[in-house]
Amino acid sequence: MSINKSYAVFGLGRYGRAVVKELLDNGAAVIAVDKDRKIVDEVVGEIPICKCADITEPGVIKQLGIQNVDVVVISMAENFEGSIMATMLCKEAGVKRVVVKCANEAQCSILRKIGADETVLPEREAGTRLAKNILSADFIDIADISEDISILELDIKPDWIGKTLKELDLRRKYNINVLAFRKGSRVDVAINPDASIEDDMKMIVMANCSEIKRIK
The predicted-structure confidence for 39-78, as pLDDT tens digits, reads as follows: 999 999 999 999 999 999 879 999 999 999 999 999 998 8
The predicted-structure confidence for 25-38, as pLDDT tens digits, reads as follows 888 899 999 999 99
Mean pLDDT of 109-125: 82
Pairing of strands 186-188, 176-183: antiparallel
- Give the predicted TM-score (pTM) of the model: 0.63
pLDDT band at 132 (very low <50, low <70, confident <90, very high): low
The pLDDT tens digits for 149-172 are: 777 778 888 899 999 999 999 888
Amino acid at residue number 203: M
Higher pLDDT, 124 or 17: 17
Which helix (H) or strand (E) element contains residue 22? helix 14-25
pLDDT of residue 75: 95
Strands (E), the chain: 6-10, 29-34, 50-52, 71-74, 97-101, 118-120, 139-144, 149-155, 176-183, 186-188, 202-208
Least confident of 15-24, 113-122, 149-158: 149-158
With 50 as the cut, is the pLDDT of residue 112 above it? Answer: yes
| Residue pair 72/7 in contact by the 8 Å Cβ criterion | yes
Confidence band, pLDDT 50/70/90 cuts, at residue 128: low
Q: What is the pLDDT of residues 162-212, one digit of tens each?
A: 999 999 998 888 888 888 888 876 778 778 889 999 988 988 888 776 776
Strand order from edge to edge, sheet including 29-34? 50-52, 29-34, 6-10, 71-74, 97-101, 118-120
Residue 203: per-residue pLDDT? 86
> Which one-letter DSSP state was computed for residue 69?
-
Beta pairing partners, 72: 8, 98
Percent residues over pLDDT 70 in the chain: 82
Enumerate domains of the chain plus CATH numbers.
6-134 (3.40.50.720), 139-212 (3.30.70.1450)
Tell me what pLDDT residue 135 has. 59
